[in-house]
Structure 1
Amino acid sequence: MSSETESRTEDGADRSDGAAGAAVLPSGSGERRERRVWRAVLRWTAAVTVFAAAGTATAYQITGMTRTDVPGLATASDGRWAYPELTRPPLPSGSPGPFAEDNPAGAQHADLRALVLPAPAGAVEDKALRGDDGWLPTEDYLAVYAGEADREALGQTLTDTGLRHIAARGWTTPDGTRTRIYLLRFGTAEVVDVEIATDAVAFVTPAYQPVGAHESEYDESFPERARVPDIERVAYAEPAPYGAEQVRQAYLAAGNVYAVIVQSRAGGVADVPFHQTVVLQSQLLG
């Protein structure tokens, strides 16, 4: 993935000075990877094309970046949270990036725990999600979802597909919005694309509903221009009338890592911080 320089305006907004280039796949393993990518694109975009996203809300200009250049989005009058400046963790010596031509498995070699988005300023962290060593037990992740049958089915899927680790972080901001982010690492990107994403993402609603979400539908408010190169994304929102709170959720496929982002808030989850959180987590995984 080609890199480019981003400049920042005085009000804190990002402005892109270039465009990301498309990688040229070599023959052999590259052709196999290309077929896998197209299969994933067809499955993930099926959910997107069911509804045409209007994309008239605040859009972020997302562009290709180097491994160490991921700017946090500044606090602005549109409701963005004040995230710290973000830097992707270093790769082990000699290890390729997840979307490099010489990485057909799409492996994220960086420490998964360091790839989880940090909490914004003023938020109170949920330390239980971090654990003593930064790894979340599978049963704690399954507790996100309502319904014993769903939890059993999803747990069996994670076992069958060789789940390796789960890293997580959560926090609550002063406005009462609760955020939870889960990164699940598998053996290859193909496992994520073929087994995990296909199992979890349906055409109109997610296969497994988080606790508190009575219903979910495709999130038409998410700006299409906010897509991050190489990251497949599907987002859902609980339509009104809500129960005690609204639940919004996003699912990302990033190489051999599958990310789940859940936000909830009494009275409704605001568009801007939800979009911002999903975009920044996507950038860290890109």
Structure 2
Amino acid sequence: MTDSSSLTVDGPAGPAGPGTPPAAGRPRRLRRSLPRVAAALVVCGLLGTGIAYGITAADRTDLPGLGTPGDGRWPYPEQHRPPLPHGAPAPFAKTPGATAGGPSGVHHADLGGLRLTAPEGAAVDLDKTGGKDAPDTAAFTAEYEAPSGDLLRRHLADYAPRRTASRGWTMPDGTRARVHLVQFESAAVAQYFRLTVLNDWKGTVVNLRDARTVVRDDGYESAVQARPGDVLDSAVEVYRQTGSGGARSVRYAYLFAGDTVALVVHSRPGGTVPTAFYQTVALQQQLLS
């Protein structure tokens, strides 16, 4: 396994986004280190420059964490995708076997195992899963201020998610991180939830706590880069709080991966670290792709 603290520099590449799925027959060993960090770059936002991650198309097993050379990244351990049930295809597999497991975009693996593992030094203070017939959306909806949280609870009762999973932790610098996964009956239902509940043609329509006024965060696409041939079967919407109306500075992202919607939140008094947030979103995106 490649040492994630020894990363090489990649050249420029296009932004991460949905693409064509990996070819059948790919070996089950991780081909290359997940992140390729441009070592000459320093903290995005803090020092006025940027940091780039090259995201590789990984197999359904291990994803290495990222080293922390002092530019704001967190010391994530190696991430592990949970095993697939016998005979079940990967969510975006385009192989003959995929037809037997149902439509594309279905996550058959344990949803709790698809949550990002907390970095070293974190104090884990949220760990919840809700299986089929018993999804628990309370942790997810608690991220939203009233009346947005109440609105989401009513909509989720109608959309009837299949499974839920949440994990949260607090870092020594006071950053509070949350990852919530909500799995629906199909990719079509998840997309409808996205377009009718979370967003409208103007943008986001529900407000997180301490983040009533937000703008799209274009820094993620420039910070996270994929090389030609990389595959990320998920869409990402990234937001950052503007103004000083809340007690904590907030950044958050929605990930839309087939039948699953993920919410990733970082909040911290005074200000969040963009590099650590982008790193968290990128790793969670890989786990779901």
User: Could you say which TM-score interval applies, normalised by the shorter chain?
Assistant: 0.7 to 0.9
Query: Deviations for 1:103-159, whole angstroms, at most 9, x for unmatched residues?
Result: 5241100000111101101111114x43799x87223322211113x2232122212
Deviation at residue 93 of structure 1 after TM alignment = 0.7
Deviation at residue 202 of structure 1 after TM alignment = 4.2
Aligned to 1:83, which of 76, 87, 97? 76
Partner of 1:243: 246
Cα contact 1:246–1:265 (8 A) shared by 2: yes
Q: In 2, distance between residues paired with 1:136 and 1:252? A: 19
Cα contact 1:204–1:218 (8 A) shared by 2: no
Cα contact 1:163–1:185 (8 A) shared by 2: yes
Q: In 2, distance between residues paired with 1:160 and 1:24? A: 34
**Cα distance change, pair 229–153 in 1 and its aligned pair in 2 (3 A):** same
Cα contact 1:8–1:15 (8 A) shared by 2: no
Match of 1:13, as an amino acid?
L
**Cα distance change, pair 222–202 in 1 and its aligned pair in 2 (3 A):** farther
Deviation at residue 285 of structure 1 after TM alignment = 0.8
Partner of 2:110: 111
Q: For structure 2, list consecutive stretches of 5 or more residues without a partner in the other structure.
A: 24-48
SS in 1 for 2:53: coil
Query: Deviations for 1:260-282, whole angstroms, at most 9, x for unmatched residues?
Result: 01110011111100000000001
Q: In 2, distance between residues paired with 1:236 and 1:279? A: 14
Deviation at residue 63 of structure 1 after TM alignment = 1.8
Percent identity of the aligned residues?
39
SS in 1 for 2:74: coil
Match of 1:138, as an amino acid?
T
Query: Deviations for 1:37-91, whole angstroms, at most 9, x for unmatched residues?
Result: xxxxxxxxxxxxxxxxxxx621110121111131111122211100111121110
Partner of 2:137: 138
> Is residue 175 of structure 2 the alignment partner of residue 160 of structure 1?
no
Cα contact 2:130–2:163 (8 A) shared by 1: no
Cα contact 1:7–1:15 (8 A) shared by 2: no
Cα contact 2:214–2:241 (8 A) shared by 1: yes
> Is residue 200 of structure 2 the alignment partner of residue 207 of structure 1?
no
**Cα distance change, pair 69–197 in 1 and its aligned pair in 2 (3 A):** farther
Deviation at residue 160 of structure 1 after TM alignment = 1.7
Cα contact 1:204–1:217 (8 A) shared by 2: no
Q: In 1, distance between residues paired with 2:247 and 2:141? A: 21
Cα contact 1:137–1:166 (8 A) shared by 2: yes
Q: For structure 1, list consecutive stretches of 5 or more residues without a partner in the other structure.
A: 1-5, 26-55
Deviation at residue 193 of structure 1 after TM alignment = 1.4
- Structure that is richer in strand per residue: 2
For these two proteins, the number of residue pairs brought into alignment is 247
- Structure that is richer in helix per residue: 1
Match of 1:110, as an amino acid?
A
Question: CA RMSD of the aligned region, Å?
Answer: 3.0
TM-score by length of 2: 0.76
